[in-house]
Amino acid sequence: MIRNMSPLRAALLVALSITLLVGGAGAAFAAGSSATKAKTTTVTVVVGDTAGLNGPMTMTVTPESAPAGKVKFKVQNQGTIIHEMVVLKATATFDQLPVTNDKVSEAKKVGEVSSIGKGKTKSKTLKLKAGSYALVCNVAKHYGLGMRAGFTVT
């Protein structure tokens, strides 16, 4: 078919064919790479207290569950003292973990966001498998004062 065309027209047809092939391959590669990119779920954790160790403490988690995979914990300290958030693979109900020396065991720790100052926010992304987790502040006495929450990965 190219034999009966003018040289200019044949060159344009070849150039157009190459452009379409390369462009199509690039689009297919881009589509494949975005399809394999894992989605990250952002979870906001607000920790707080009103009187340091002299009053109750809170930990609020939104949402309370996420799909398995990458989970970004964005931890905001709205309290008056330094806090942390430790992610533990749950072996018991999050609010019934055994306490020794004013802390819970971190043997099942998956990750943590540590040393979050008053009014500060820190983030950490973890890759989590399906299951139950306990989110706790494991600074001495904080767990016992209420700084804990359950979290589920589906």
Report the pLDDT value the prediction gives residue 92, as an integer from 0 to 100. 85
Q: How many residues does the chain have?
A: 154
Tokens read off for 113:
């966001």
Phi, psi dihedrals of residue 51, rounded to the nearest 5°: -145, 35
What pLDDT, in 10s, does the model give residues 50-89? Answer: 999 999 999 999 999 999 999 999 999 999 999 999 999 9
Q: Which residue has the higher pLDDT, 15 or 141?
A: 141
CA dist 58 and 142 (Å) reads 9
Rounded to the nearest integer, the mean pLDDT of the chain is 86
pTM of the model: 0.76
Going by DSSP bridges, is the β-strand pair 40-49/69-77 parallel, antiparallel, or unpaired? parallel
Confidence of residue 38 (pLDDT cuts 50, 70, 90): confident
On whether the CB atoms of residues 45 and 63 are closer than 8 A, the answer is no
Which residue is listed with tokens 């905001």?
A: 76
CA dist 86 and 134 (Å) reads 8
| 65-66: strand order across its sheet | 65-66, 148-153, 131-136, 83-89, 109-116
Q: Which residue has the higher pLDDT, 36 or 122?
A: 122
What pLDDT, in 10s, does the model give residues 106-147? Answer: 999 999 999 999 999 999 999 999 999 999 999 999 999 999
The angle subtended at Cα 46 by Cα 44 and Cα 48, nearest 5°, is 175
Confidence of residue 14 (pLDDT cuts 50, 70, 90): low
Confidence of residue 29 (pLDDT cuts 50, 70, 90): very low
Could you tell me how many helices (H) and strands (E) the chain has, helices first? Answer: 1, 11
Largest CA distance in the chain: 93
Position 153 pLDDT exceeds 90? yes
